[in-house]
Amino acid sequence: MAFDTSFLMAVMERPTTWSEDITESVGAFTPVVLSSVRDELARLAEKGDKRGKFASLALELIEKGTFTLEPDGKGKPDDEIISFALREGAAVATIDSGLAKSLRASRVQTVITLRGGRVST
């Protein structure tokens, strides 16, 4: 399951039981972050504002080894996520409505989001 920037920052801003909720919803999964998503988080973290703080926390979570870091083509993160999901048959966790719409239009089977602090498919 690939995670985008918006989802990672959201769970840092409002901690939830996202991992357990996803497992309950779709079963066991391997959390993946693409290098373009990590790079986007790093750019946001450099700003040092409120969003930067949550991006920094998300980077710390990635660095702890909770996620598998996958290289990608260095395109736009959304495009890379869609490509990865289609190539690997992976689910995607996002709260970005534009990305979710693009994923569904591309026929990605499972899109995970947050509603009211809870995981939703």
CATH code: domain of residue 61: 3.40.50.1010
State what percent of residues in the chain have pLDDT above 70: 100
pLDDT, tens only, 43-76: 999 998 999 999 999 999 999 988 999 999 989 9
State what percent of residues in the chain have pLDDT above 90: 87
Give the domain range for residue 78: 2-120
Reply yes or no on whether the pLDDT at 118 is more than 90.
no
Q: Which residue do the tokens 């980077």 mark?
A: 59
Contact 2, 38 (CB under 8 A): no
Look at residue 105 in the predicted model and tell me its pLDDT: 97
Mean pLDDT, the chain, integer: 95
Paired with 120 in beta bridges are 113
Contact 1, 30 (CB under 8 A): yes
Look at residue 117 in the predicted model and tell me its pLDDT: 79
pLDDT, tens only, 71-98: 999 899 999 999 999 999 999 999 999 9
* Tokens representing residue 120 in the block: 């939703």
Buried b (16+ CB within 10 A) or exposed e, 70-97: bebeeeebbebbbebbeeeebbbbbbbe
Using 50, 70 and 90 to split pLDDT, how confident is the model at 116? confident
Contact 45, 55 (CB under 8 A): yes
Higher pLDDT, 94 or 118: 94
Domain count, the chain: 1
Look at residue 61 in the predicted model and tell me its pLDDT: 93
